Structure 1
Amino acid sequence: MVMPVLRFNFANPNGEASTQREMVLAAIEMATWGDTRGLAAVSVDEHHLTSHGWSSNPVMTAALFLHNTSNMIVSIDCALGPLWDPLRLAEDIRFVDSMSAGRLLTTVGLGYRPVEYQGFGVDFDRRAALMDCLLERMLAAWSAETFVDGRPGSRIGAGTWSQPHPPLYVGGGVRATARRAVRFSLGLSLPAHLPELGQYYLDLCQRQGVEPNLIMPTAVNRGMIFLHEEPEKAWAEFGEHILWEAVTYGGWVDGAPLSSMHLPGVLTLDEVRASGRYRFLTPDELVAEARDCPDYGPMVFHPLVGGMPIDEAWKSVQLFIDVVMPQLR
């Protein structure tokens, strides 16, 4: 089964507001156009103090996409939980959950960049305790039976559209994350193919009587795809956009990658190409790859990567919808 996903972060090397506006409008148009043509989801994330316009409010961003579509889901991968006020995040998610009739999926994670915590005046060393507080207060705020902190009038509404509450996952790649998810009876979203950790979570759920809900990338990391009729030409003309994002994103990690998309230490386009994390493919190549793998899973497209020219981004999305999708049906 193939699940086509569009990923957007709206980052561009210069962080120019005019460029970002054009990217946001183009992204909304792509999602709207693809909503009735087989696109399954849009994925957005959250980062701060990047100097190049990386999406900083994933709930607001998700609402833009959901308002303009009727079928696809929007997945927040992920919100930096300890940097949010718990009640504010609960209220915002509840609003978007209701507006979209339950099409918002939210993963909350700790994050890994101390500079983001410093910018918000939050103690990086207390992030685990802050996450526990966040989850406890959000779940209480969504409940139709309890008050937040026991104070009258602090409940945000008589329940939520999605029951028992909006879809919420705990994100991370260590055992403490799995224990936290089980403790709050929530789903677990893993940043990479980590079968031992996934099984640890499932075993904990069974012992605690919790219904499991596990999201884990497939064993084969197919990276982020950009369709082009001439891949070698595309690498030569547009590889600089991919290199910029790969170097920037990888530079935030010191040591081992924290997700299946991190490339710590990469400096050259050859290194990026060899990693397989970003790929230019022809439509025929993608069709053949998908047909050879019945359990393909998410097929992630990143059309506006690194400030990619909008007309080229559109060509990639249109090739998928008009050429690839009919053959995969």
Structure 2
Amino acid sequence: MSSIRLRFTFALPDPDPSRQSKVFRAALEMARWGDDKGVDLVSLDEHHASGFGWSCNPILEGGMILAATSRIRVGVAAALGPLWHPIRLAEDLAVVDQMSGGRMTVTLGLGYRPIEYAAMGKDYTRRGRLMDELLDTLLKAWTGEPFEYNGATVAITPRPLTRPHPMILVGGSAKATARRAVRFRLPLQIPEYLPELKAYYEELCREEGIEPVVDMVGEHRPGMVILHEDPDKAWAELGEHLMWEAVEYGAWAAADMRSVMHVRGVTTIEDVRASGRYRVLTPDQLVDELIARGPASSVTLHPLVGGMPIDEAWKCVHLLTDQVVPKLRERQARS
């Protein structure tokens, strides 16, 4: 069956604390609503020193969502691995795994903004080595057995519920990322449609005698979706919110970065619309698209994008749960 997802960044052009509190609480309520209405996953990510209140602790945010729900999963894509203390992250993810029954999946990425490393007191030039140290420590810690760390013998509790460990992926778009995933025998998450990188990872897996597991953006690069009964009207009245995020987030991307999430060089709402990375669809358009792409298709709704008014965001979510999900399930069941 098609995968239905909600994405939240919590970012606002003017992150007034009282307004941002309403956004956090609205996201929690939308996740709770979606849990009862067929939404499969909530997607979160991590950034620091944004100036916009961008999601800075997806493990904490995701844990709160999981505590308020019973079925829905949380996908963190991505947590900035080298900025976390390895023992603390091992403990935090073990607790979330226990409390949620294993409903959190975390992609660990290097990040690409030196300011974030400076803010956390980490050396940006050592980010590859820091990631290796993190992954090595996580995998040792989750066995529950004592191991050496910083000159001391440590063992963490609680142990994760999920065995052999919580679901983690190594994320990135470079060959070094693929080699790292194979070295630690972990799945690879590719944030863009890069079949040559996927093939490289799979070949390395075959050489090592391990089963390759890859999560890669589809060839059609689905982007992020807003639902509205009249897309032209939505672009005219709400397009500024999509454009704000596209401009600000796109400006962060490194020159050599490959990610479906970033839109570079847009200056108008028309540019954002033409990019295809932010899309406004009717419920029927979305259902037709998902059916055409088959049972492995997915959609990510981004209802609170760029300070979208909360009442408009709720209209988008209700179109998803009241129209798209029932129609989609009915048509998929028939086929």
Instruction: Indicate the TM-score class for this superposition, using the shorter chain for normalisation.
Output: over 0.9
Q: How does 1:1-329 map to 2 (within 5 A)?
A: 1-149=1-149, 154-157=154-157, 159-295=159-295, 297-329=297-329
Give the drift of 1:195.
Answer: 1.1
Task: Give the stretch that moved more between structures: 147-156 or 308-317.
Answer: 147-156
Change (3 A) 1:257 1:267: farther
CA distance in 2, matches of 1:177, 1:165: 20
CA distance in 2, matches of 1:99, 1:231: 40
Q: Which amino acid aligns with 1:204?
A: L
CA distance in 2, matches of 1:257, 1:314: 33
Deviations 1:153-178, CA, capped at 9 Å, x for gaps: 61112632000011111000011101
Q: Is the 8 A contact 2:169 2:188 kept in 1?
A: yes
CA distance in 2, matches of 1:134, 1:103: 21
Partner of 2:332: none
Q: Is the 8 A contact 2:146 2:154 kept in 1?
A: no
Q: Is the 8 A contact 2:290 2:297 kept in 1?
A: no
Q: Secondary structure at the match of 1:36?
A: helix
Give the drift of 1:150.
Answer: 8.7
Q: Which amino acid aligns with 2:215?
A: I
Give the drift of 1:209.
Answer: 2.1
How many residues align structurally?
Answer: 329
Q: Secondary structure at the match of 2:43?
A: strand
Q: Secondary structure at the match of 2:27?
A: helix
Q: Is the 8 A contact 2:95 2:158 kept in 1?
A: no
Task: Give the stretch that moved more between structures: 114-123 or 307-316.
Answer: 114-123
Change (3 A) 1:157 1:209: farther
Task: Give the stretch that moved more between structures: 286-295 or 228-237.
Answer: 286-295
Q: Which amino acid aligns with 1:171?
A: G
Q: Secondary structure at the match of 2:34?
A: helix
CA RMSD of aligned residues (A): 1.4
Q: Is the 8 A contact 1:140 1:148 kept in 2?
A: no
CA distance in 2, matches of 1:257, 1:230: 34
Q: Secondary structure at the match of 2:154?
A: coil
Give the drift of 1:288.
Answer: 1.7
Q: Secondary structure at the match of 1:79?
A: strand
Change (3 A) 1:315 1:149: same
CA distance in 1, matches of 2:150, 2:121: 27
Deviations 1:184-223, CA, capped at 9 Å, x for gaps: 1111111111111111111211211223221111110121
Q: Secondary structure at the match of 1:97?
A: helix
Task: Give the stretch that moved more between structures: 278-287 or 43-52.
Answer: 278-287
Q: Is the 8 A contact 2:228 2:283 kept in 1?
A: yes
Give the drift of 1:255.
Answer: 2.7
Q: Is the 8 A contact 1:16 1:53 kept in 2?
A: no
Q: Which amino acid aligns with 1:78?
A: A
TM-score by length of 1: 0.97
Give the drift of 1:291.
Answer: 2.1
Q: Secondary structure at the match of 1:211?
A: coil
Q: Is the 8 A contact 2:82 2:131 kept in 1?
A: yes
Q: Secondary structure at the match of 1:292?
A: helix
Give the drift of 1:149.
Answer: 2.6
Q: Secondary structure at the match of 2:122?
A: coil
Task: Give the stretch that moved more between structures: 191-200 or 148-157.
Answer: 148-157
Task: Give the stretch that moved more between structures: 8-17 or 146-155.
Answer: 146-155
Q: Which amino acid aligns with 2:46?
A: E
Q: Which amino acid aligns with 2:241?
A: H
CA distance in 2, matches of 1:275, 1:90: 39
CA distance in 2, matches of 1:148, 1:14: 46
Runs of 5+ unmatched residues, structure 2: 330-335
Deviations 1:20-47, CA, capped at 9 Å, x for gaps: 1101111111111111211000000000
CA distance in 2, matches of 1:257, 1:169: 19
TM-score by length of 2: 0.95
Give the drift of 1:292.
Answer: 1.9
Give the drift of 1:148.
Answer: 4.0
